[in-house]
Amino acid sequence: MPDRHDEPLDALRTPVTPLAPDPGFASALRHRLMQATNPPTRKEPSVSTNVSNRPRNGVHHGDVSYITLSVPDLARGQAFYGHVLGWRFSPGSGRHGAQVDDVVPMIGMWEGDQPDGGTVGGAVLGFRVDDINAAVAAVRAHGGVVNDPHREPYAIAAEGRDNQGIPFYLHEMPSPESRPDTGHPWNGEIEGDISYLTMVAPDLGAAQTFYGAVVGWTFNTGRAGGAQVNGVAPQIGITTRPEAGPATPGVIMCYRVDDLAAAAHRVRDAGGRANEITRRPYGLESLCADDQDIPFYLHQF
């Protein structure tokens, strides 16, 4: 009989030494496991709710605090984006609205007129402000229109339109904890998050003046007819000549996906359109439109 210490399987009896995983990978894996094992409750979250410690309503003055995605048909919108991006929904404040669970920033899908009147097909941005009275005064001083501030359960809010007719919201709310470093804090962390926002404005200079005065934005001038907003979350660019259709004032959403080829297939399968995938300096991109003809981009980083 061989000596016990010479048995080949003895190596399996040695103590296991745990290895510390990459913190970013561990955080993302933990979030995905929580999503898979804990289905969301069917209760509308407050606007200030955090999901897995991810600030969903901005952190700093000028960040995007909320997005309303306005669609002609709510049920079709839920079916399309649920299929393409895996979005799950909780009831909204009325039968014409629904809240998108877990994505950053927080998104509500809405069917019908906007609170300040008129119908918008596409996104309406809310902006976090430190002093809503000062922001309202700046809107009116720079050619925009805005309602008087009023208290909502989640914030002191006001609705308005800028000096080029683009609708927006202002939100003054308590500051959350500092934004965690998760690898891609400016461009979405998980599939379905907002990866970028493209604001379409007929007059670039007028847009820079207005938003610089109201929410303190500063800019990096890009190619002709375009500018990048500095230091806001998520990242925002302003253009006068969008790739996505006519230069209609408004906002074009961009969404992060894990597998762009598979996501583009889901877009077409759900009745939308997806252009060929293009490689950009920041990753892969496809210009798409949903089954109600609302344009958007998909990004894989």
CA distance 196 to 150: 29
Q: What angle do CA 107, 57, 226 make, to 5 degrees?
A: 80
Domains in the chain, CATH or no CATH each? 64-172 (3.10.180.10), 194-300 (3.10.180.10)
pLDDT for residue 177 = 58
pLDDT for residue 204 = 94
pLDDT in tens, 11-34: 434 444 444 444 444 434 443 443
Backbone angles phi, psi at 221, to 5 degrees: -75, 125
Per 3-state DSSP, the chain is made up of helix, strand and coil in percentages (nearest 5) of: 25, 30, 50
Global model pTM greater than 0.85: no
- Chain centroid to CA 132: 22
Please give the C-alpha separations between residue 198 and each of 5, 242, 251, 282, in angstroms, as whole numbers. 67, 8, 6, 15
pLDDT in tens, 123-138: 999 999 999 999 999 9
Most confident by average pLDDT, 10-19, 45-54, 214-223, 265-274: 265-274
pLDDT in tens, 234-250: 999 999 988 876 668 89
pLDDT for residue 286 = 98
Q: What angle do CA 192, 153, 194 make, to 5 degrees?
A: 15
pLDDT for residue 95 = 79
pLDDT of residue 274 exceeding 70 = yes
pLDDT in tens, 152-195: 999 999 999 999 999 999 999 987 755 544 443 467 889 999 99
pLDDT confidence band for 96 (50 / 70 / 90)? confident
CB 220 within 8 A of CB 264: no
pLDDT for residue 254 = 97
CA distance 28 to 11: 33
pLDDT for residue 28 = 41
pLDDT for residue 176 = 72
Length of the chain equals: 301
Range in 6-10, 95-99, 104-108, 198-202 with the lowest mean pLDDT: 6-10
pLDDT for residue 21 = 44
CB 106 within 8 A of CB 67: yes
53: amino acid identity, one letter: N
pLDDT for residue 121 = 60
CA distance 85 to 93: 23
**Segment 269-288 mean pLDDT:** 96
